[in-house]
Amino acid sequence: MMYDTEYFIRFVNIFAKYLAENKEYLTQLDAAIGDGDHGINMDRGAKAALDRLSSINPKTPGEVMRTVGMALLSSVGGAAGPLYGTVFMRMSIAFRNNDKIDDKGLVSALEQALLGIKGLGKAEVGDKTMVDVWEPVVNFLKENIENGRTLPEICADVVALAEERMKATIPLQARKGRASYLGERSIGHQDPGATSSYYFFKSLCEAIGGE
């Protein structure tokens, strides 16, 4: 399948919708082990992104991602700002000026985004962060797309895997970010960054079907 500018705008709108609907939930998760602002921050960032998209009217997928990335950098406020900002900026760079992105292009952009997150936060799988969702999901996508499958064919599995890995952060002890200051007290809570990452991948999949 080919992913065009409309697809990425649809994706950002769905992601923003999930962040708005789950603003309280994400904030509650963050209040348990962080500073309690992830939901508010992500929702504010996503709304700023939608505002910029409607005023800039981007012409390519790369332009969509760059516009969103800069909006998140400026408006999210917490650590998620640079982290999600990096995700969108890295994907924008990977897309170059192409009008349409194929499955391989999408996966390699997601791989770049993952490298960006890991380079910035130095987190590994098991540290109770967004990497706990990102790494297994990107690896799963890479393996399947390399074997000739397409994202629409494996969407249900992608969403299920993201959800499973998100829930798997509950028993972990945080080793990065503010939650790590809590030591063992961080055990038993789902990681808010892993949760917003689940919405990210869910939105990528749902944007395929149109809205």
Cα 154 to Cα 189: distance, rounded to the nearest angstrom: 29
Buried b (16+ CB within 10 A) or exposed e, 35-51: ebbbbbbbbbbbebbbe
- In whole angstroms, how close is the CB of 81 to another protein at the nearest point? 5
Chain positions 153 to 192 lying near another protein, rule: CB under 8 A, are 176-178
Let me know: does 87 contact 116? Beta carbons within 8 Å.
yes
Interface mask (CB under 8 A) for another protein, residues 105-134, using x and -? -----------x--xxx-------------
DSSP code at position 101: E
Between 32 and 155, name the residue whose CB sits nearer to another protein: 32
Let me know: does 60 contact 6? Beta carbons within 8 Å.
no
83 binds another protein (CB under 8 A): yes
193 binds another protein (CB under 8 A): no
Stretch that binds another protein, among 5-13, 84-92, 155-163, 194-202 (CB under 8 A): 84-92
Chain positions 33 to 62 lying near another protein, rule: CB under 8 A, are 35, 37, 41
Tell me how many residues contact another protein (CB under 8 A): 24
What radius of gyration, in Å, describes the C-alpha atoms of the chain? 16
Cα 39 to Cα 19: distance, rounded to the nearest angstrom: 7
Interface residues with another protein (CB under 8 A)?
35, 37, 41, 70, 73-79, 81-83, 85-86, 89, 116, 119-121, 176-178
